[in-house]
Structure 1
Amino acid sequence: MELDHLTLFSQIVQAHNINCLLVDRDFSNLYKADMELRSKLYSNYDYARLRDAILKHCRRGELLKLKDDFGLILYIFPLPTDSLAQMGQAVCVIAGPVLEAAPDPGEIQKIMFRKKLPDSLFRELQEFYSSIAVPPELKSLESTLITIADHLFGEAHVLRSYPESGDLTLESPSQFQALNDAPSIAINTIEERYEVEDQMLEAVACGDHMKASRYHSLFKTYRITPRTENALINRKNMLIILNTLCRKAVQKGHVHPYYIDELSTQFAIRINQSRSMTDLDAIDNEMIHKYCLLVRNHSMKNYSRLVQRCITYTDFHYAEPLTLSFFADMCHVTKSYLSNLFRKETGSTLTDYIHAVRLRHALVLLNSTTIPIQVVAASCGYSDLNYFIKLFKRENGISPKQYRVQMNRNENALCIKKSPPEPLP
């Protein structure tokens, strides 16, 4: 298997929000296999038992499923011996850890009792488990890993579990007593979660929906400790927090507070009115998408204060008689200076921008109301109906009347398509 194939395998595994570790031939980086859990818990832990299990039970053509007594599952592929030089001396690939299910507080306490861990570590372990991926379907993940390995390794693979029953203990009896004084198990996890959150919000502030969605998906793999026993309230609380974070991110993207408040209020109402998990499920993805759109459509990040002032005034006063002369007087500059500055920063003339804002609002009115065309024109700042029709047709290819007829026709066709067939007589 070539090096770029191995890189591709790692990227595919990581795309499922699961760690992928290329284990060095001397096993010096094996401490990363369990997210450093044991190296933080125990003094001088050397991972010898995990190393021995890999050497003894990891066979070519097999996907070894190893489950330990912390409930962590590792999937291990051995690498072909003849390719070790190409792989940077990696001896095997470990995908994981993952969990069959997120442990509840009672299950975590049972693990702690079994491992003789002090009660003071409960919160740390709870945070640690919240960072471990829980695939929706474990068998589906295993099939995916095998299929990927079959293609990239160039040979068929089968799944084999070790141990066949029960869970594998990777500590010696003496290590149960050799706990570190103050093991910081969750610090890295919390730091990683905050880093992912920062990257997500930075993407939102830039209006980068693809990047924001990717980090949002990764952020959701960190199962934050519930604040209450009511799952619905917990979900609402998380969405309220996300709404607040996105609102602040968009503010950094130099969007006017009016637009931010309008969108955040819409989401706040939806969250509050939701009565089931199903109602809440689609909100977070839509939230990321719409806040990114808000930045892309209304950000004034790269504009001077003068241009920002003209844009903001136009956005909120588009129905007024706006002209280049009006803005030049308002800003105490010459018309030529303002015109050149606006075109330089936005790529558009101020007059064209005024028309664009007005025509955008005209589309909304034509779509959502039945008021006469002349009223639509007046509502958008055009006292001359013919001039409005001319501009609208130049921008959209059809007249306002034709546009409204077309929208009504499409809406009626959609209603007919959705209507159930009439019962037979």
Structure 2
Amino acid sequence: METSTIISTTIKLHYITDLNSYVLDEKGSYLYSQELVQLPMFIEETRDAAFGTLSKMRGDQVYILHNEWDLQFFGYALHYNGMKFCILLGPFYEKAPDFFKVSREYHLTRTESEELRNVAKKISILTGEKIKSFTSVLQQFRSLMDETVPVAIDYTINHERNVSQSSNEEINQHDLVELRYKIEKDFLRAVEMGNKKQALQLINSNNLLFSFAERFPNQPIRRLKNNLIVLNTLLRTAARRGQVASILVHRISEDYALKIEKVDRLGKLYQIEDQMIGDYCDLVHSHSLKQYSIIIQKVIEHVTSYYDQQLNIENLAVQNDVNVSHLSRKFKQETGYTITGFQQMLRINQAKFLLETENLTIEEISWMVGYDDPSYFTRVFKKETGMTPTQFRK
């Protein structure tokens, strides 16, 4: 009983703070976890270290735990009915981190650095006042426990319903489900083919696909967010079936997952729906690998995933059981690029995106896309675009 009360109280705090929430017992076993932000594996141990620190702390006191990644957690150790429990809320930042400094200091690969940056966008930055407020709430944990009461639900069923009416409703429900699956199949096929016009027509002309009004009837924003999360998953699957490189699908999926959670207006959420469908279709249309041979598909997947790292064309040839000259000739024949030229194109395109969307120095962007020498990066960028990175940004 005490465990369920502690978990129920932690759930309250989760909704108050919008932070990841965890409960552990005295043996360090997870009793409950609710994560809005999934930490990368290479820094996940910092959360476990925070638990280890908290388990040694005095009970009935709030702690703010820091780690070397500038992540912070609220901690509360609780003695209850002869047992010890640890409650952890976080991570959060007190100020925006310097990713370039962190990446260099901990020798992160460029892929790890990008993963950290993407995750950090989802981590809350709390002001001093908000930290004090959350600390005050956590200090009231025992009081909140006392106020947590079971919710009684009436499952009474009216047994006097007309039998023929029930049968008709079941038939209608069956037809509705069949129609939903038919629309879903046609919709996913349109996305898989990169047919934006057809995909938008299907989703707009038939509200049956995702208009489950019976779910969260009094929470329209939560209902629409849930529907968009489902839609994002379906679109991601369709894009992979359309043979788009997995790293590109992952990036757009993560981007929209963040957007969905941040928006709190219905009108904006409906806009996201159309934008998301359009962007996935455009991605398939411009990046599908269907027109390439199996060998070249594998090479493009590899280069796209590791565009920021040094290429070893000899290893690529060995992995695909061909010689280097044959692989290079075939790649050029099918794509119009040399393998290194294709990699350079990916790097420059990513640099353009970062220049347009991020407030990063040229040195940081140069390093993130795979160039250790910012001057060399500037020369390559100007050769490819006709402008220096600074001119492009302006």
What TM-score do you get using the length of structure 2 for normalisation?
Answer: 0.50
Instruction: Give 5+ residue unaligned stretches, structure 1.
Output: 1-112, 125-183, 407-425
How far has the Cα of 1:282 moved from its partner? 1.7
* 1:10 aligned partner: none
2:202 aligns with one of 215, 225, 249? 215
* 1:352 aligned partner: 341
Greater C-alpha radius of gyration = 1
* 2:187 aligned partner: 200
Q: Within 5 Å, which residues of 2 pair with 1:23-422?
A: 118-121=164-167, 123=169, 184-185=171-172, 190-220=177-207, 223-224=211-212, 226-232=214-220, 233-322=222-311, 324-325=313-314, 327-329=316-318, 331-369=320-358, 371-383=360-372, 387-404=376-393, 406=394
Q: Distance in 2 between matches of 1:385 and 1:330?
A: 32
SS in 2 for 1:348: coil
Q: Distance in 1 between matches of 2:213 and 2:388?
A: 56
Letter of the aligned partner of 2:166 in structure 1?
S
Q: Distance in 1 between matches of 2:223 and 2:303?
A: 41
How far has the Cα of 1:285 moved from its partner? 0.9
Compared with structure 1, are the counterparts of its residues 368 and 192 closer, same or farther at alpha carbon in structure 2 (3 Å cutoff)?
closer
How far has the Cα of 1:208 moved from its partner? 1.8
Letter of the aligned partner of 1:321 in structure 2?
Q
How far has the Cα of 1:273 moved from its partner? 4.4
Q: Distance in 1 between matches of 2:219 and 2:186?
A: 27
Compared with structure 1, are the counterparts of its residues 386 and 277 closer, same or farther at alpha carbon in structure 2 (3 Å cutoff)?
closer
Compared with structure 1, are the counterparts of its residues 268 and 333 closer, same or farther at alpha carbon in structure 2 (3 Å cutoff)?
same
1:282-331 deviation per Cα after TM superposition (whole angstroms, max 9, x unaligned): 22112211222332344323434432332222223223232644633554
Q: Distance in 1 between matches of 2:363 and 2:219?
A: 52
SS in 1 for 2:285: helix
Letter of the aligned partner of 2:229 in structure 1?
I
1:334-378 deviation per Cα after TM superposition (whole angstroms, max 9, x unaligned): 222111221233233222211101111221333345555455434
Letter of the aligned partner of 2:384 in structure 1?
E
Letter of the aligned partner of 1:230 in structure 2?
N
8 Å CA contact retained: 2:247, 2:304: no
SS in 1 for 2:307: coil
Compared with structure 1, are the counterparts of its residues 245 and 317 closer, same or farther at alpha carbon in structure 2 (3 Å cutoff)?
closer
Q: Distance in 2 between matches of 1:287 and 1:315?
A: 22
Q: Distance in 2 between matches of 1:272 and 1:213?
A: 22
Q: Distance in 1 between matches of 2:364 and 2:246?
A: 29
Q: Distance in 2 between matches of 1:305 and 1:259?
A: 18
Letter of the aligned partner of 1:271 in structure 2?
I
1:15-46 deviation per Cα after TM superposition (whole angstroms, max 9, x unaligned): xxxxxxxxxxxxxxxxxxxxxxxxxxxxxxxx
Compared with structure 1, are the counterparts of its residues 121 and 235 closer, same or farther at alpha carbon in structure 2 (3 Å cutoff)?
farther
Instruction: Give 5+ residue unaligned stretches, structure 2.
Output: 1-160
Q: Distance in 2 between matches of 1:235 and 1:375?
A: 38
Over the matched positions of the two proteins, sequence identity in percent amounts to 31
What TM-score do you get using the length of structure 1 for normalisation?
Answer: 0.47
Q: How many residue pairs are counted as aligned between the two chains?
A: 232
How far has the Cα of 1:204 moved from its partner? 0.8
8 Å CA contact retained: 1:196, 1:218: no
Q: Distance in 1 between matches of 2:288 and 2:168?
A: 45
* 2:101 aligned partner: none
8 Å CA contact retained: 1:197, 1:219: no
How far has the Cα of 1:394 moved from its partner? 3.1
Q: Distance in 1 between matches of 2:251 and 2:366?
A: 25
SS in 1 for 2:169: helix
SS in 2 for 1:320: coil
Q: Distance in 2 between matches of 1:191 and 1:371?
A: 50
Q: CA RMSD in A?
A: 3.3
1:147-199 deviation per Cα after TM superposition (whole angstroms, max 9, x unaligned): xxxxxxxxxxxxxxxxxxxxxxxxxxxxxxxxxxxxx5565554444322211
